[in-house]
Amino acid sequence: MANNTLVIKLGGTLLESDEALTALFDGLTQFLNDSHRPLVLVHGGGCLVDDLLKGLGLKSTKKNGLRVTPFEHIPLIAGALAGTANKQMMAKAIAHGIKSVGFCLADGGMCKVTQLDPELGAVGECQPNDASLAQAVLDMGCMPVISSIGITEQGELMNVNADQAATAIAELLGADLVMLSDVSGILDGKGQLIPDMTQAKAEELIAKGVITGGMEVKVRAALHAAATLGRPIAVASWRYPEQLSSLLAGGAVGTKVMA
């Protein structure tokens, strides 16, 4: 049987606008009604973490797009991502009549998470592991809503970049992957949308400093998923929900990342 599961990664800045979040869920509801495809959401929430840490007078830095996460910050970050962000996404789903279940990467052993680099602190690297819980939830007609908090085999909480988490979940389920961010796709040095992205082109633009920070992490994650899943990964905006059905039908919206 063909697997037509779709994983959508939602960038956290979406949570800063209730209007944009509602419009996006209107589009998702329409998509679910029209296509009846199993849908999984993986979400970020970096902006919520920024606000929380700033409010508490704590400094937070990023290294190559990844948040340096001192172990004393991880309970707060887990609260913002697996708590606030996850439940705000679920709340919007429920208000749209979409039955959903909120998870982190550790639930049911979905993903194996290990510490990425001691210099980054409690930052995790994520591998797909056990699909049975997510699949059972999809088979029940519910939508998994997954945050990027993971737990190591030693029982330590880890902060995983949400693009890397979405890639692992798409690989776990053999699903299509669409990454929705606050930009219309990958942009060139003049701010113009690049319709197609390959590994070679990405390396060139990263070396030139055109693709930086969070987008560098996203592009590398998308290239990884495109290679392992053998299909293009879309990077597009959550700002234009009216383009969602065309995008989800494989139309030319945003950037198509190919291995």
Element spanning 158, H or E: strand 157-159
CB of 58 to ligand ADP, least distance (A): 20
Q: Is 59 assigned a catalytic role? A: no
Q: Is 112 assigned a catalytic role? A: no
Question: What does 114-138 look like in DSSP terms, one character per residue?
Answer: EE--GGGBSBEEEEE---HHHHHHH
Using the rule CB under 6 A, is 46 a contact of ligand X2W? Answer: yes
Query: Which residue in 219, 107, 121 sits closest to 169, CA to CA?
Result: 107
CA angle 161, 4, 252 (to 5 degrees): 75
- C-alpha–C-alpha distance, residues 46 and 2, integer Å: 34
Q: Is 92 assigned a catalytic role? A: no
Partner interacting with residue 66 (select from ligand X2W, ligand ADP, none; CB below 5-8 Å by kind): ligand X2W
Q: Is 62 assigned a catalytic role? A: no
Using the rule CB under 6 A, is 45 a contact of ligand X2W? Answer: yes
Q: Is 46 assigned a catalytic role? A: yes
By C-beta, is 161 or 184 nearer to ligand X2W? 161
Pairing of strands 124-128, 111-115: antiparallel
- C-alpha–C-alpha distance, residues 222 and 58, integer Å: 31
- Annotated catalytic residue within 27, 107, 150, 218: 218
Give the one residue of 6, 8, 21, 66 binding ligand X2W; rule: CB under 6 A.
66
Query: Which residue in 173, 166, 170 sits closest to 214, CA to CA?
Result: 166
Residues at the interface with ligand ADP (CB under 6 A): 11-13, 44, 46, 163, 181-183, 186-187, 210-215, 218
CB of 93 to ligand ADP, least distance (A): 19
By C-beta, is 12 or 232 nearer to ligand X2W? 12
Known catalytic residues are 9, 12, 46, 163, 218
